[in-house]
Amino acid sequence: MTALDGIWLARPERPGRGIPVAVKDLLDTAGLTTTYGSALFAEHVPAESAAAVRRLEASGYSVAGKTNLHEFAFGVSSQNAHFGTVPNPVAPGRLAGGSSGGSAAAIAAGEVELALGSDSGGSIRIPAGWCGIVGFKPTYDLVPTDGCFPLAPSYDHVGPLASSVEGCEELLAALAPGFEPAQIESLEELAVGVAWTEHADPFVRRRVEAAAARFPRARRIEVPFPDPREWSLFAREIADVHRALFPEHADEYGETVRTKIEACFAVADGEVAEAERLRAEYREQAAEALAGLDLLVTPTLAMVAPPDDVDERDIRKAVTRFTYPFDVLGWPALALPCGTAEDGLPASVQLVSTAGEDARVLAAGRLLASLVRGTAAA
């Protein structure tokens, strides 16, 4: 056993010739085992790669290997009952986060500089935050999800993780033809709203507010959270994905994932209809809150990485509080390290804008990163 056990689930026999990219084992890779984090697919070898993987390979990248994840991407911890818990290389004994935990850990361990993940409730940004790296959830449908095992299809996003914002921009250019990085000369160009820091732990709040203060035109604003009942739509989509598989194979699911899927099956049609209405309403509320602003700044997470023996079900709602809203909305969101917080562990600031403003978010993140890099410990 080594400190890196639990990160990789499959590696190609020979390294590819392109720039290596770790790929979350939720995305199909032709000729290379793809488990979706499930024992049911332990021997599954796809004939064709996911669309996002094909785009990367066509742009000169190669698959460095498949990374461990939360089973079927349904969890925030990457505690996998079948393949082990993903370790956090920068915080031993703490969670790496999920569900793209292995992709973030591979970067944090220095094994690769670039990785591919997916995000439906925060699954790129959560592990990026806890592992002290950069993760970007693009605008919904900017990057194709074909060949990525779905969690909740209208919430699912595929996107990059990297050791730098520039790395995310480079991968996004390959993943989304037509995307071009933007240039921002000064953060003073941006009208910025700051929200939700009061809900974060004290040192996390301090770090995020210090990062927000780098924007000369930042001001506090009120941004609503989705109505909790909106989650019924997310749950119904998960149930639909597993409707054919789960009834006959429930015992082969990990216990924590099994109980969550059972809860998804219990959602009634009336709850789903109400959730659809609430989602549409939330989109209007969020657009109104950001009217006249270029960017929103929030914490990525309220807390630093918790111990790796915590029950994921107990922390799920708190962990996704700041990330899930932007999967509901489909807006681009960047998780960026912003110094150390409680227990000397990484804190992360989240930069967000409205749909289609991916280049602006990344450009702002690139400039902000150059200013907050090397921030002293709390």
Q: Which one, of 365, 354, 349, lies nearest residue 330 by Cα?
A: 354
Q: Is 292 left (phi over 0), alpha (psi -120 to 50) or beta?
A: left
Q: Retrieve residue 63's tokens.
A: 């698959």
Q: Which of 78, 99, 100, 103 is catalytic?
A: 99
Query: Helices 231-242 and 269-289, interaxial angle, to 10°?
Result: 130
Q: Which amino acid is at 80?
A: N
Nearest Cα to 262, choosing from 232, 229, 239?
239
Q: Amino acid letter at 285?
A: Q
Residue type, 142: L
Is 24 annotated in the active site?
yes
Whole-angstrom distance, CA of residue 77 vs CA of residue 86: 8
Instruction: Please indicate whether residue 66 is annotated as part of the active site.
Output: no
The answer to whether the Cα torsion of 12, 13, 19, 22 is positive or negative is positive
Angle in degrees, CA 269, 270, 274, rounded to 5 = 120
The catalytically annotated residue of 38, 49, 103, 123 is 123
Residue 260 annotated in active site: no
Residue 52 CA: distances (Å) to CA of 48, 66, 115, 133, 354? 11, 14, 12, 21, 23
Active-site residues, by number, are: 24, 99, 123
